[in-house]
Homo-oligomer: A and B are copies of this chain.
Amino acid sequence: MSAPAANIAIGIDVGGTAIKGGLVETDGCILERRSIPTNPVEGVDHVLGRIAAMVGDLANHAASLGRAISGVGVGVPGTIRHATGIVEAPPNLPGWKNVPVVARLCWLTAQRVVLENDANAAALGEFLCGAGRGTKDMVMLTLGTGVGGGIIANGNLFRGELENAGELGHMIVAPGGRLCGCGQRGCLEAYSSATQTAARVIERIKRGEPSSLTPLVESGQEISAEQIVAAADEGDALAADAWRETCLHLAVGCINIQHMLNPQRIVLAGGMSAAGAKLLNLVEQLISENCSRMLGPLPVVGLAELGNDAGLVGAALVAMKTV
């Protein structure tokens, strides 16, 4: 008699732009993956229905492999309530307000559903299976549509009194500065998310500043961080300046995290971390230029190892961890 294969979990990562799903092993390995656009304008019901369909599809695939599903972990942006499984009011999912995600998805999928803040889930993924392996204190910044944060202290997610600690993207790093989706001015997210990095470039081009990216903007195409970095490398002054501004605010964020929490490692994750060394090297240089050595060593910053999959893997690990 052979031992039964270990259980796997379904991870769902609900972003402002895309919903990603996958069948995930206990070691973080993704057996099968799916991705659909979020389209939050279609309304909560529509989005939840499509998530449920994705869960059903992945569960069927697991059955075809002869593997059992231990649960579904769902990572969503914004504040959640663990006790009730409710998502409060995520800034990047307009129209979502006090949505009982756990109850709704349980009913729609007939699976055990566990909810977690997306950045917390991603942090747990990197901590257990990626760049945080071997540490006990890690902070992660997720650079995507927004800037999420996750704090691991002494091996556990640090959630705070009302479960909304770790909202590191809404640290104010430029008082009176750019308006953020959350309503505050000068948030880290208002400068250093992938979306706001592109938005700052587009605003400046539309104000008439010269840039090699102008044709892209005029044709209405989206601009990625990689395109901005590539333009900067080719001598585009606007792209270089905007990218430096993104990295400077990230550096200030890392310095503040270091002085407040003194973690072993700060991990940069999310879509924009695909810029790799171009991101890490400039952030490290700007930390070195702006952080006091009188207060202890400089923060140790690294890139996520699970890349864009951290949220998906972490959501599945949340479901496994709470079996």
Contact = CB atoms under 8 A, between A and B. Distances in A.
Interface of A: 78-79, 88-89, 91, 137, 149, 151, 153, 158-168, 170-175, 180, 182-185, 248-249, 252, 255-257, 259-264, 290-297
A114 to B, nearest CB: 21
13 contacts: A91-B294, A153-B153, A153-B158, A158-B261, A164-B262, A166-B260, A167-B296, A168-B259, A170-B259, A171-B259, A173-B175, A174-B175, A260-B260
Most buried by B among A171, A257, A259: A259
Closest 10 CB pairs of A and B: A160-B262, A165-B262, A182-B292, A167-B259, A183-B292, A164-B296, A170-B259, A184-B292, A161-B264, A171-B256
A160 B265 CA distance: 11
Given A153-B153, A184-B290, A294-B183, A172 B252 contact: yes
A262 B159 CA distance: 8
B290 A172 contact: yes
Contacts of A292: 170, 180, 182-184
Contacts of A149: 260
* Chain A facing B: main interface SS: loop
Contact of A256 (B153, B172, B180, B296): B172
Most buried by B among A175, A182, A290: A175
A168 B260 contact: yes
Most buried by B among A78, A252, A296: A296
Contacts of A263: 160-161
A290 to B, nearest CB: 7
A28 B294 CA distance: 33
B290 A171 contact: no
B165 A260 contact: yes
B137 A161 contact: yes
Nearest to A183: B292
A146 to B, nearest CB: 11
A166 B149 CA distance: 18
Most buried by B among A91, A171, A257: A171
B173 A172 contact: yes
Given A172-B252, A173-B172, A184-B255, A163 B291 contact: no
Contact of A182 (B171, B180, B295): B295
A143 to B, nearest CB: 17
Nearest to A167: B259
Given A153-B158, A165-B260, A172-B173, 20 more contacts: A78-B294, A79-B296, A159-B262, A161-B263, A164-B296, A166-B260, A166-B262, A167-B260, A167-B262, A170-B295, A173-B173, A173-B175, A174-B175, A175-B248, A175-B249, A175-B252, A175-B290, A183-B294, A184-B292, A260-B260
Nearest to A164: B296
A118 to B, nearest CB: 14
A290 B153 CA distance: 28
Contacts of A260: 149, 151, 165-168, 171, 257, 260-261
